[in-house]
Amino acid sequence: EFRFYLEKVNLFMEFEPKGVIVAKEADKIAGFIIVTKDISNLIKNAFLRGYIFRWFMDTVRGRFGLNLVMKKKIIRFLISLFFLPIFIIIHSKVAKAKIVAIIVAEEKRNLGIGKSLIDKTMQYLRENNIKSVSVTVQINNLLALKFYQNYDFFISGKCIESTGKSLILTKYLNN
């Protein structure tokens, strides 16, 4: 699964390199967050540059590990492609900016790294005059839901993603 995130990082390094914010500890990556100022533009570029097709083909070929979980993700991915225009419309009505991923190494959790990443992300978005940001969280991921709610994100909708049914959380930024 982390190989899949490496592909997302490659996409961002091409289109929005400042949207990849890394937390290091003793010269090792402790966590990172990926954020875009404009999710619609990012998805358009991912399609046009062939990233989405390559991700799908790499998944089918088993590059990311083709087990039962990944097979379910493929099916959800195909379903989410069908709903992609609706997803973009929902997100653009709520917020153009989107946190695409946040990962903190398991052994580094509960040490303030996630908070630091969120703080740096909000600073980056404010510097770019972004008024709101959204993130999606799987409905059953109560830890992530609580984490974002601690930073004033609120539930603003629901959607279906490759990971399954998700909540859309939104935060308004005070610039």
Look up the pTM and report it: 0.76
Q: What is the pLDDT along the chain (175 residues), one digit of tens a residue?
A: 445 556 667 777 888 889 999 999 888 889 999 999 988 788 788 888 887 777 777 766 776 665 666 666 666 665 565 555 445 445 445 678 999 889 898 899 999 999 999 999 999 999 999 999 999 999 999 999 999 999 999 999 888 776 778 899 999 998 6
For residues 51-89, b (16+ Cβ closer than 10 Å) or e, as one string? bbeebeeebeeeebeeeeebeebeebbeebeeeeeebee
Let me know the angle formed at the C-alpha of 175 by 152 and 142, rounded to the nearest 5 degrees: 15
**Per-residue model confidence (pLDDT) at position 130:** 94
| Residue 79 to residues 60, 111, 164, Cα–Cα distance (Å) | 15, 37, 10
Reading the block at residue 101, the tokens are: 């991923």
- HSE-up of residue 59 (Cα within 13 Å, Cβ side): 23
**Per-residue model confidence (pLDDT) at position 65:** 60
**Per-residue model confidence (pLDDT) at position 75:** 61
